[in-house]
């Protein structure tokens, strides 16, 4: 299948082309503002499907709205008619078509043009009135407030929140791509005469700003956002895509002594915390037990011996562990436990606890195994 994509360098276009290639589509005709006009002539003759994504949303002159959102669509459709090519055409429109402003009017004119084309040619057409889109490769101060907030907050720049209670309707780029692929297969999600993206999210502007700020703070407090929240998960992925080059990494606080080190890696309120423990040869750590706190130990390097003794019992249970064979050991409640480095090199253990450490309620009681 030969697929024509206008606006190929735009936010949606770049994501769409990348996903089309992931799905095995190789004959993709890419049209940008810099493309030679003769290319559009050839592409409209050969293509089997059209994604018309090109448009204008922040021009220097209001007259550019109609030029970018109507005239190009008109040229595209006229060329398809010239070549008697009834390839399906997908048009990206906007939820602002109902607003009486230059942008909304230009998008509405593009829609009307496409529907008239359908009545005239009987070719399949798909119109998507998209809400505020967000995701990787979007442009700050152009595509969406999400991109602007992510870009600025990641760089320590100010953001502007005029009305924190303003409600936003957001849609994630990957959900748009999923729907576009359905349309490519002739199975779009329809509502009345329009195609719709089935997954959208509502959030207040002030809440959005605070949420993205929390992503930046997570490097200091080691928190991980709740990934069961679909919008939060998508926003966090978007935020990470805006990290400045050279700032992908960040330091952790290592608590070091002559026995080795203990370093917290991440914390979650609902999934506990993960830490990395390093023990020098011959060193024993632990010798304590917990009422409710439970843990999992995973030795990833070195050789260790994990020992248990149930409270009130003299019986000792031992597990020999090493980085040569990755094995998780559960640390049950009510058992005093320790881990000994029995090798010649550092013992490195990844430790998970079901709750984050609270110095006011440590639930940790010293008792030798």
Catalytic residue among 43, 103, 117, 335: 103
User: What pLDDT was estimated at residue 112?
Assistant: 87
Pick from 189, 187, 186, 210: nearest CA to 200 = 189
Residues 177 and 285 grouped into a single domain? no
Cα–Cα distance, 257 to 210 (Å, whole number): 38
Q: Using CB atoms within 10 A of its CB, is residue 222 exposed (0-12), middle (13-18) or buried (19+)?
A: buried
Residues 47 and 193 grouped into a single domain? yes
Helix (H, G, I), strand (E, B) or coil at 60: coil
Residues 260 and 195 grouped into a single domain? no
Angle, helix 205-221 to helix 145-154, in steps of 10 degrees: 30
Neighbouring residues of 85: CB distance < 8 A, sequence distance ≥ 6 = 44, 45, 47
- Per-residue pLDDT band for 103 (boundaries 50, 70, 90) equals low
- Residue with the bigger pLDDT between 99 and 288: it is 288
Residues 173 and 36 grouped into a single domain? yes
Mean per-residue pLDDT, 88-92: 94
User: What pLDDT was estimated at residue 28?
Assistant: 98
- Per-residue pLDDT band for 55 (boundaries 50, 70, 90) equals low
Residues 184 and 64 grouped into a single domain? yes
Mean per-residue pLDDT, 342-361: 96
Query: pTM for this structure?
Result: 0.90
Residues 328/332/337/343 CA torsion (nearest 10 deg): -10
pLDDT digits (tens, 9 = 90+) for 264-292: 999 998 899 999 999 999 999 999 999 99
For 58-72, 158-172, 219-233, which range has the lowest pLDDT when averaged over its residues?
58-72
Mean per-residue pLDDT, 46-72: 69
- Per-residue pLDDT band for 71 (boundaries 50, 70, 90) equals confident
Looking up residue 110, the CATH number of its domain turns out to be 3.40.50.720
Cα–Cα distance, 341 to 286 (Å, whole number): 12
Residue 304 lies in a domain: yes
Residues 193 and 263 grouped into a single domain? no
Residue 195 lies in a domain: yes
Mean per-residue pLDDT, 196-202: 91
Supply the range of the domain harboring residue 196.
3-142+154-207
Number of domains in the chain: 2
Q: From the CB of residue 247, how many other CB atoms can be counted at a distance below 10 Å?
A: 10
Residues 163 and 299 grouped into a single domain? no
pLDDT digits (tens, 9 = 90+) for 353-365: 999 999 999 999 9
User: What pLDDT was estimated at residue 61?
Assistant: 52
Indicate if 236 belongs to the active site. no
Position 102 pLDDT exceeds 90 = no
User: What pLDDT was estimated at residue 285?
Assistant: 97
Position 64 pLDDT exceeds 80 = no
User: What pLDDT was estimated at residue 97?
Assistant: 72
User: What pLDDT was estimated at residue 56?
Assistant: 56
pLDDT digits (tens, 9 = 90+) for 237-259: 999 999 999 999 999 999 999 99
Whether residue 254 contacts residue 263, with contact meaning beta carbons closer than 8 Å, is answered with: yes
Residues 33 and 179 grouped into a single domain? yes
Residues 164 and 294 grouped into a single domain? no
- Residue with the bigger pLDDT between 184 and 108: it is 184
Looking up residue 350, the CATH number of its domain turns out to be 2.60.120.10
User: What pLDDT was estimated at residue 253?
Assistant: 96
- Per-residue pLDDT band for 196 (boundaries 50, 70, 90) equals confident
Residue 260 lies in a domain: yes
Residues 34 and 168 grouped into a single domain? yes
């Amino acid at each position: 299948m030969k697929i024509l994509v206008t606006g190929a360098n735009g936010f949606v276009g770049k994501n769409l082309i990348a996903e089309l290639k992931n799905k095995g589509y190789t004959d993709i005709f890419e049209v940008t503002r810099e493309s030679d006009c003769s290319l559009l002539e050839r592409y409209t003759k050969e293509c089997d499907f059209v994604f018309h994504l090109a448009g204008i949303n922040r021009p220097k002159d209001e007259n550019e709205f109609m030029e970018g959102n109507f005239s190009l669509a008109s040229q595209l459709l006229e060329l398809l008619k010239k070549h008697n090519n009834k390839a399906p055409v997908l048009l990206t429109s906007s939820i602002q078509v109902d607003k009486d402003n230059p942008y909304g009017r230009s998008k509405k004119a593009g829609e009307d043009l496409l529907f008239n084309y359908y009545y005239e040619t009987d070719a399949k057409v798909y119109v998507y009135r998209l809400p505020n889109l967000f995701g990787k490769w979007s442009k700050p101060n152009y595509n969406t407030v999400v991109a602007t907030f992510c870009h600025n907050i990641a760089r320590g720049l100010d953001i502007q929140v005029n009305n924190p209670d303003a409600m936003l309707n957001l849609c994630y780029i990957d959900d748009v791509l999923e729907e576009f692929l359905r349309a490519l297969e002739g199975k779009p999600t329809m509502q009345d005469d329009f195609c719709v993206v089935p997954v959208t999210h509502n959030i207040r502007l002030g809440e959005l700003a605070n949420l993205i700020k929390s992503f930046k703070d997570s490097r200091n407090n080691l928190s991980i956002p709740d990934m069961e929240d679909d919008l939060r998960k998508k926003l966090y992925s978007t935020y990470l895509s805006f990290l400045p080059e050279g700032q992908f990494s960040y330091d952790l606080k290592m608590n070091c002594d002559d026995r080795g080190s203990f370093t917290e890696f991440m914390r979650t309120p609902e999934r506990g915390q993960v830490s990395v423990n390093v023990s020098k040869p011959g060193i024993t750590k632990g010798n304590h037990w917990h009422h409710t706190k439970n843990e999992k130990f995973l030795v990833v390097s070195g050789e260790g011996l994990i020992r248990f003794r149930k409270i009130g019992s003299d019986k000792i249970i031992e597990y020999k562990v090493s980085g040569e064979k990755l094995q998780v050991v559960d640390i049950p409640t009510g058992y005093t436990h320790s881990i000994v480095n029995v090798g010649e090199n550092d013992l490195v253990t990844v430790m998970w606890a079901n709750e984050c450490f609270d110095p006011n309620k440590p639930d940790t009681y010293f008792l030798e195994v």
